[in-house]
């Protein structure tokens, strides 16, 4: 029986998810919750290895379907090895990206199709669903600019601005269609965005 909560953070590249997840995790731990932070693709030894294959700039010839299946494979391992046991243990799991990343990046931006990507992932998810998804919204140009200033770009980040524009628009479309996604304006200071996230989490936990 599931007792914990799965909260996913989503958003275009460079939206500041990883920093916000750390701040949120500290906040929840200080309030006495048992918290586990993980990320996609990754979060287990096997999933991190898959991550390296996906994001490697040398794998430029990777087909979109291969990419979608690898993200799903990485997710399947993370769910079985980490997320399910943590939820059964009553933990709040904070996941840096989850299945909506595949819907947006592979389904919409790569053009595989939302239904098709959902279908691939139904097997990987094995019934696990996020209880709440927070989408940190920043313009894709701004996000990529942030990434560029931090480090060398990976294969996905190097997909060009047309691709990232589709990602941005894909997130807007998804947030409009689904009522379990809360959009947070990421164009502000870290503390401001953190407070917005905390307000959403607090009202959700009530
Ligand atoms: P992420 O770890 O968020 O990047 P960062 O190195 O900035 O922390 O995600 C890696 C990339 O993978 C990112 O460009 C988004 C992409 N992605 C997909 O295309 N599909 C997916 O299902 C997931 C989880 C990520």
pLDDT-derived band at 1 (thresholds 50, 70, 90) equals low
**Beta-bridge partner residues of 94:** 7, 37
Sort strands 35-39 and 132-137 into parallel, antiparallel or unpaired: unpaired
Contact (CB, 8 A) for 3 and 87: yes
The whole-angstrom separation of Cα 37 and Cα 85 is 14
Residue nearest to atom 22 of ligand 1 (CA): 102
Residue nearest to atom 17 of ligand 1 (CA): 101
pLDDT in the model for residue 115: 97
| 47 is an annotated ligand-binding site residue | no
| 42 is an annotated ligand-binding site residue | no
Q: How many angstroms is it from 34 CA to the middle of ligand 1?
A: 26
pLDDT-derived band at 70 (thresholds 50, 70, 90) equals very high
| 85 is an annotated ligand-binding site residue | no
Instruction: List, in order of start, the domains of the chain with CATH numbers.
Output: 5-205 (3.40.50.300)
Q: For the chain, what is the radius of gyration of the CA atoms?
A: 16
**Beta-bridge partner residues of 136:** 184
pLDDT in the model for residue 143: 86
The whole-angstrom separation of Cα 18 and Cα 33 is 19
For the chain, give the percent of residues with pLDDT over 70. 99
For residue range 81-90, list pLDDT tens digits in order. 999 999 999 9
Q: CA dist 129 to 2, 13, 79, 139, 177, Å? A: 11, 23, 10, 27, 17
pLDDT in the model for residue 88: 97
| 16 is an annotated ligand-binding site residue | yes
Q: How many angstroms is it from 40 CA to the middle of ligand 1?
A: 7
For residue range 34-46, list pLDDT tens digits in order. 999 999 999 999 9
pLDDT in the model for residue 190: 95
Q: For 115-124, what is the mean pLDDT?
A: 97
Q: CA dist 78 to 75, 83, 165, Å? A: 5, 6, 29
pLDDT in the model for residue 20: 97
Q: CA dist 68 to 8, 20, 50, 121, 128, Å? A: 19, 26, 12, 9, 18
For residue range 122-156, list pLDDT tens digits in order. 999 999 999 999 999 998 888 888 888 888 999 99
pLDDT in the model for residue 2: 65
Q: For 26-38, what is the mean pLDDT?
A: 98
Pocket of ligand 1 (CB under 6 A): 13, 18, 39-41, 71, 96-97, 101-102, 105-106, 156-157
pLDDT-derived band at 14 (thresholds 50, 70, 90) equals confident
Atom of ligand 1 nearest to the CA of 40: 24
Q: How many angstroms is it from 41 CA to the middle of ligand 1?
A: 6
The whole-angstrom separation of Cα 77 and Cα 158 is 26
Mean per-residue pLDDT over the chain, rounded: 95
Q: How many angstroms is it from 88 CA to the middle of ligand 1?
A: 26
| 18 is an annotated ligand-binding site residue | yes
Residue nearest to atom 11 of ligand 1 (CA): 156
* SS3 assignment, position 31: coil
């Amino acid at each position: 029986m599931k007792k914990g909560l799965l909260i996913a953070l989503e958003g275009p590249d460079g939206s500041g998810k990883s920093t916000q997840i750390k701040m949120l995790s500290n906040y929840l731990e200080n309030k006495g919750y048992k918290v586990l932070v993980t990320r996609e693709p990754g979060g287990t030894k096997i999933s991190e290895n898959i991550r390296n294959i996906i994001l490697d700039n040398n794998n430029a010839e990777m087909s979109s379907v291969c990419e979608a299946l690898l993200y799903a494979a990485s997710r399947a391992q993370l769910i079985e090895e980490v997320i399910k046991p943590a939820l059964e243990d009553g933990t709040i799991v904070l996941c840096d990206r989850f299945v909506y990343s595949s819907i947006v990046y592979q389904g919409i931006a790569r053009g595989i199709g939302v239904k098709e990507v959902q279908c691939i992932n139904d097997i990987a998810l094995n019934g696990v669903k996020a209880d709440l998804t927070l989408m940190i919204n920043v313009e894709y140009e701004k996000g990529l600019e942030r990434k560029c200033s931090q480090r060398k770009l990976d294969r996905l980040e190097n997909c060009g601005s047309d691709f990232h524009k589709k990602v941005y628009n894909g997130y807007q479309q998804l947030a409009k269609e689904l009522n379990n996604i809360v959009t947070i304006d990421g164009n502000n200071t870290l503390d401001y965005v953190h407070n917005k996230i905390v307000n959403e989490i607090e009202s959700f936990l009530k």
